[in-house]
Amino acid sequence: MGAILLVYSSGYSSRTDPMVHAQYLAARLSKDNMQIFTMPAPSFPLASLPATLFTAPIPETVDHVQIAKDCIDRLAANDVSVLAPDTAHWRDLLAMTSTLRTFTSGISAGAAWRDITTLHKPSGFELEKESVVVVRKGSLSSIDARFHFTNGLQPRGRCLGLVKIAPDVLHGEETDGEYKIWSLSTILESIDGYGDPDIYPPNLLGKGTLDPRNGDSHLEPSYFDALVVGLGPSGLSTLARLKALGVNAIACDKIPQVGMNWTDRYHSLRLHTPKAQNSLPFNFKPPENAPYYLGAEDLKEYYQSFVDRYKLADSLWLSTTAKHVKFNSDKTSWTVSLNQSGNQRIIVARHVVFCLGVTGRQARVPVFPDRDEFTGEVLHSVDYISASQWAGKRGVVIGTANTGHDVAEDMLHAGMDVTMMQRSRTAVLNVERLPLHQAFHKGVNVSDVDKSFFTNPLAIERVFMREVARQMALQDKERFEKLEENGFKVNREADLTQILFEQAGRHYMDVGVSQMIIDGKIKVKSGSPITGFNSHGLSFADGSKVSADVVVFATGYESNMKLAVSKLLDPEVANKLDECWLLDREGNPRGSWKPIGHLLTIVDPNIWFCPGDIGTSRFFSRFLALQIKAEVEGTPFRPYDK
């Protein structure tokens, strides 16, 4: 019996023809009779990744433009000593490694940069002088700059680099005053001859590309380069970027109208972040007369206007549900069984992209004893629509993240007596103090801001955001104390990056409900866990009880898209896919926007996850689209795997 090699599926697969791929594997294996299986990449806590921010002051008198130019020139010359040896991080998004990688020390980053630069000889390094700025945030300071270059890879692409530069510091003391790069990000902007995922070609605006498929039955098989499953923000973003690159793509969703994935939820739903941050691609922002915090109807109208503007209607298969996705024996395509308003439809797609949100909408409902004794109503927020029918009744909301606050506010406005049940301390974030509020302001070019906002190495981002959270806690100290006086326990040491990438919640972006708690309009029960239901409400470990007519679980969703996707796949395929979300050993979201294929021995079978909130999926869908375009054109990316 041959040896068995277990390979972690971390996204570094070779995507090419079987013969070349066999050679790729042979170079790594010493015996012909080895059996190869993939295993999902294990998750690593963000806190385990080292990161240090430079605190050495940058004098006002320094020529920061010249410093930035010198550092970029050294990088272009393959002088990796310009990277701070112990503390530098390099995050690459397809530009140099042909995949999504992060190197978490100057030594590893320097070795990778040297390898790739020596082999492919990137060229045309040019500093964007007007981008150079000295950034000071509390005790932190850096010279930030952008530069442009051509990567020299195949496929060849135009790239953007971003650096943070600071004086080299050793053990708290300045060494020789030399400035070095401690954060480097490189981004593939476009591939030569393949279009730009951020620009929708004007020639496509006057026509559609496919016949409408809104619930119609077409029994003959059809072939597409890509099928996008899901038409929320990630699905619309992915489809639009694929179309911009000339990929023959369609998207399906069970909803009968675009945007109904918002309006089918609770009526009072509104986003808790600036409307510009919730834009779709191509710098197509919500209308100026839309509210700052977009509601469900606002989002539906905005999404429809996006579809109309970019002539996407013919590529949308609405009232259509994917029932089964089967990997074909040719190892390069999928046969997909669809249900269109009760009729069967079979298509073949070279690529299948799952855009189901970071959670996949699998409701998480805690189980408490004696549920049958309770005489009132119990539901999860996924089934909550409105509190209007419960006017004058008592409502309890279990959960104190964004949705819990929304439901509590809706109950209050409906005339209910409202209590929020808090299970653990909750981070309360003043939106106006967050960097995203400052970045995504009126008039901003969203595509441009994304390239700064979403590209920092996450370990660096975490340390920076902890400093931001510390300052916010000091500024909001009085408000937090008033919340605590009313029973709401505030997490004042919130790790904002960890919240977003590891917890998918446990925070409230304050759009007004905190003041309702402070004013006593919404009560809070905290400090004691629920022990079970009783006939009139809930019982707690401290012996207390809270009466209720309605209990709403605002307790979130199962946080792995793979759970939802696996139901559509054959088990032998589903069991070998990478996990979705949480972080890999380099600090990148697992299985996200890069190959997650199950057959390492043949070729990558072209199956993808596109998770994340609106902003995250908007930005990273561009890299997913570029990879699909390259593969369809016969020039697949070959990832750097050292």
Structure confidence at residue 243 (pLDDT)? 97
Distances (CA, A) of 148 to 152, 185, 197, 365, 642: 13, 12, 17, 49, 25
Long-range contacts of 227-230 (CB under 8 A, 24+ apart): 227/251, 227/252, 227/322, 227/334, 227/336, 227/347, 227/349, 227/351, 227/352, 227/353, 228/252, 228/353, 228/355, 229/253, 229/322, 229/352, 229/353, 229/354, 229/355, 229/356, 230/354, 230/355, 230/356, 230/357
Return d(Cα 75, Cα 83) in angstroms, integer.
8
For the sheet with 545-547, list strands across it. 530-534, 537-540, 545-547
Whether 559 is in a domain gets the answer no
Pair (182, 80) in one structural domain: yes
Confidence of residue 21 (pLDDT cuts 50, 70, 90): very low
Pair (55, 29) in one structural domain: no
Structure confidence at residue 39 (pLDDT)? 52
Return d(Cα 28, Cα 244) in angstroms, integer.
38
pLDDT of 175 over the 60 cut: no
Match 């990316």 to its residue by tokens: 637
Confidence of residue 624 (pLDDT cuts 50, 70, 90): very high
Tell which residue, 11, 43, 40, 32, has the closest CA to residue 582. 43
More confident residue, 274 or 494: 274
Pair (395, 544) in one structural domain: yes
CA angle 440, 276, 317 (to 5 degrees): 140
**pLDDT, tens digit (0-9, with 9 covering 90-100), for 237-274:** 999 999 999 999 999 999 999 999 999 889 999 999 99
Percent pLDDT > 70 in the chain is 87
Burial of residue 49 (number of CB atoms within 10 Å: 0-12, 13-18, 19+): buried
Return d(Cα 338, Cα 320) in angstroms, integer.
6
Percent of the chain as helix, strand, coil, to the nearest 5: 30, 30, 45
pLDDT of 594 over the 70 cut: yes
Pair (281, 393) in one structural domain: no
Tell which residue, 348, 341, 343, 345, has the closest CA to residue 326. 348
Residues 355 and 371 sit within 8 Å (Cβ to Cβ): no
Whether 457 is in a domain gets the answer no
Highest mean pLDDT among 142-146, 500-504, 562-566, 568-572: 142-146
295-330 per-residue burial string, b: 16 or more CB within 10 A, e: under 16: bbebbbbbbebbbeebbbbbbbbbbbbbeebebeee
Q: What is the CATH number of the domain that holds 115?
A: 3.10.450.50
Residues 16 and 636 sit within 8 Å (Cβ to Cβ): yes
Pair (74, 156) in one structural domain: yes
pLDDT of 212 over the 50 cut: no
Pairing assessment for the beta strands 334-340 and 320-327 based on DSSP bridges: antiparallel
Confidence of residue 20 (pLDDT cuts 50, 70, 90): very low
Pair (302, 392) in one structural domain: no
CA angle 629, 348, 318 (to 5 degrees): 90
Pair (249, 111) in one structural domain: no
φ, ψ at 322 (rounded to 5°): -75, 125
Structure confidence at residue 596 (pLDDT)? 82
Whether 461 is in a domain gets the answer no
pLDDT of 296 over the 70 cut: yes
**pLDDT, tens digit (0-9, with 9 covering 90-100), for 300-349:** 999 999 999 999 999 999 999 999 999 988 778 999 999 998 999 999 99
Residue 37 belongs to what domain range?
Answer: 4-41
| Residues with Cβ within 8 Å of residue 457, at least 6 apart in sequence | 51, 89, 90, 91, 102, 104, 183, 185, 587
Structure confidence at residue 209 (pLDDT)? 42
Pair (538, 398) in one structural domain: yes
Lowest mean pLDDT among 6-15, 296-305, 353-362, 569-578: 6-15
Q: How many domains in the chain?
A: 4
φ, ψ at 294 (rounded to 5°): -70, 135
pLDDT of 35 over the 80 cut: no
Structure confidence at residue 23 (pLDDT)? 36
- DSSP code at position 83: B
Tell which residue, 527, 530, 583, 569, has the closest CA to residue 101. 583
End position of a domain, from candidates 509, 525, 553: 553
Confidence of residue 169 (pLDDT cuts 50, 70, 90): low
Confidence of residue 219 (pLDDT cuts 50, 70, 90): very low
Structure confidence at residue 57 (pLDDT)? 86
Lowest mean pLDDT among 41-55, 176-190, 306-320, 523-537: 41-55
Pair (212, 305) in one structural domain: yes
Query: From the CB of residue 220, how many other CB atoms can be counted at a distance below 10 Å?
Result: 7
Max intra-chain CA distance, the chain: 74
**pLDDT, tens digit (0-9, with 9 covering 90-100), for 425-483:** 999 999 888 888 888 988 899 999 999 999 999 999 998 888 888 889 999 999 999 99
| Arithmetic mean of pLDDT, 346-370 | 86
Residues 64 and 155 sit within 8 Å (Cβ to Cβ): no
Residues 159 and 148 sit within 8 Å (Cβ to Cβ): yes
The chain-wide mean pLDDT, for the chain, equals 87
| Arithmetic mean of pLDDT, 495-511 | 84
More confident residue, 632 or 11: 632
Residues 534 and 370 sit within 8 Å (Cβ to Cβ): yes
Confidence of residue 34 (pLDDT cuts 50, 70, 90): very low
Residues 387 and 406 sit within 8 Å (Cβ to Cβ): no
Whether 640 is in a domain gets the answer no
Tell which residue, 461, 462, 463, has the closest CA to residue 452. 461
Residue 317 pairs with which residues in a beta bridge? 252
Distances (CA, A) of 252 to 53, 258, 318, 345, 571: 44, 10, 6, 12, 23
More confident residue, 306 or 499: 306
| Arithmetic mean of pLDDT, 290-298 | 96
pLDDT of 24 over the 60 cut: no
Pair (179, 260) in one structural domain: no
At 268 the three-state DSSP class reads: coil
Q: What is the CATH number of the domain that holds 479?
A: 3.50.50.60
| Arithmetic mean of pLDDT, 411-434 | 94
Match 């919404």 to its residue by tokens: 522
- DSSP code at position 270: B
Whether 540 is in a domain gets the answer yes
Whether 448 is in a domain gets the answer no
End position of a domain, from candidates 170, 191, 212: 191
Distances (CA, A) of 626 to 247, 629, 632: 10, 5, 10
Residues 360 and 565 sit within 8 Å (Cβ to Cβ): yes
Structure confidence at residue 149 (pLDDT)? 98
Whether 641 is in a domain gets the answer no
350-381 per-residue burial string, b: 16 or more CB within 10 A, e: under 16: bbbbbbbbbbbeeeeeeebeeeeebebebebb
End position of a domain, from candidates 169, 191, 213: 191
Whether 378 is in a domain gets the answer yes
pLDDT of 3 over the 60 cut: no
Pair (106, 255) in one structural domain: no
Structure confidence at residue 138 (pLDDT)? 73
Pair (24, 53) in one structural domain: no
Burial of residue 348 (number of CB atoms within 10 Å: 0-12, 13-18, 19+): middle
| Residues with Cβ within 8 Å of residue 532, at least 6 apart in sequence | 368, 369, 370, 371, 538, 539
